Amino acid sequence: MRVAVVGATGAVGQEILKVLEARNFPLSELRLYASPRSAGKTMVFRGEAIPVEPLPEGPLPVDLVLASAGGSLSKALAPVWAQGGALVIDNSSAWRYEPHVPLVVPEVNRERIFQHQGIIANPNCTTAILVMALWPLHRAFRAKRVIVATYQAASGAGAKGMEELLRETHRYLHGESPVAEVFAHPLPFNVIPHIDTFQENGYTREEMKVVWETHKIFGDDSLRISATAVRVPTLRAHAEAVSVEFERPVSPEAAREVLAQAKGVEVVDEPLARRYPMPLTASGKWNVEVGRIRKSLAFENGLDFFVVGDQLLKGAALNAVQIAEEWLKGP
């Protein structure tokens, strides 16, 4: 298996390399591509220094492309890579909403991997983390309405977002006024209810991605979903407070039992022992954490819960590698 990582020097690209190595992904050759300013650097993989190459405009000499280099680049070049014979697993938003492109979280809709036409899309990180907890509950109790409030880390804006949070926190702590370049406002000691661009309906595109992508991944447009996306001053791992109304009767005990059996999910739900999902404990973890599972006070057949997942892993790099692993296994 000849593999290319496009956008190898970015935050997600670096995580992809770590995941490929940690999971012992079967490859015979690894090519690393990035922008011309990164070309000539080397990155270490399995003890070997591999040069970073400038990205050519034509096909890549590989079987699999793991792309994380932005939507406009993927929109232009992913078809070229696919026509050259490679399967493209794309981390950007470029292909998520195309009807012919599968949008995949393997624990939810693995079968869609084998319906690709050369390109498979990775969902938005917020959606990926949500559906890991929501899908097993939806399958067991049939969700009708979902309300989500997110607490999204600086890592959602990539390496530059994390750098800005650290740099501007340092400025604040040394008596200087923090400034914002990556984010809409200074992020240190602040929360910002604004991620991505505002749409005509008053929601941001980040909030609508949760709606559009959950519908596509579940294959069900009837599920009513409303989201508020908020940037918070944590480095990595997104948290989400979720309220769900179900068609069937549900209890916290039954929900815990279902989630305990779900792949990729870790139930962390001992509030009296101060054990619940947090970015501090979910960062660097492949599984998403779910806890604070309790009966809703607003919905008759309802639950409230809290889910946290590493935005750079299950929200991006890990999910992409898992899609590739399942593709290799076959239907």
pLDDT tens track for 34-88: 988 888 899 999 999 999 999 998 999 999 999 998 899 999 999 999 999 999 9
How distant, in Å, are the alpha carbons of 235, 276, 282 from that of 267? 23, 8, 12
Q: How many residues does the chain have?
A: 331
- Co-location of 27 and 46 in the same domain: yes
- Co-location of 60 and 208 in the same domain: no
**What are the helix (H) ranges across 64-198?**
71-83, 106-109, 125-141, 158-173
Cα 115 to the center of its chain, rounded Å: 21
- Cα(6)–Cα(263) distance, rounded to whole angstroms? 28
- Co-location of 186 and 298 in the same domain: yes
Any catalytic annotation for residue 116? no
- Co-location of 242 and 275 in the same domain: yes
CATH assignment of the domain containing 39: 3.40.50.720
Nearest alpha carbon to residue 17 among 48, 39, 60, 61: 48
Q: Which domain holds residue 229?
A: 127-311
CB 313 within 8 A of CB 19: yes
- Co-location of 279 and 132 in the same domain: yes
pLDDT tens track for 1-25: 999 999 999 989 999 999 999 999 9
How distant, in Å, are the alpha carbons of 25, 88, 99, 210, 331 from that of 216? 28, 19, 9, 10, 20
- Co-location of 177 and 224 in the same domain: yes
pTM above 0.75, yes or no: yes
Report the pLDDT value the prediction gives residue 39, as an integer from 0 to 100: 85
Which of 170, 194, 215, 238 is flagged as catalytic?
A: 238
How crowded is residue 115: how many other Cβ atoms within 10 Å of its Cβ?
Answer: 13
Q: How many domains does the chain have?
A: 2
Which of 125, 174, 185, 194 is flagged as catalytic?
A: 125
Nearest alpha carbon to residue 254 among 203, 301, 221, 322: 301
At residue 290, what is the residue type?
Answer: V
Q: Using 70 as the pLDDT threshold, list the residues of the chain that sit under it.
A: none
Report the pLDDT value the prediction gives residue 159, as an integer from 0 to 100: 86
Residues 6 or more apart in contact with residue 64 via CB below 8 angstroms: 1, 2, 3, 4, 86, 87, 89, 324
Report the pLDDT value the prediction gives residue 157, as an integer from 0 to 100: 92
User: First and final CA of the chain: distance in angstroms?
Assistant: 18
Report the pLDDT value the prediction gives residue 70, as an integer from 0 to 100: 87
Any catalytic annotation for residue 174? no
CATH assignment of the domain containing 266: 3.30.360.10
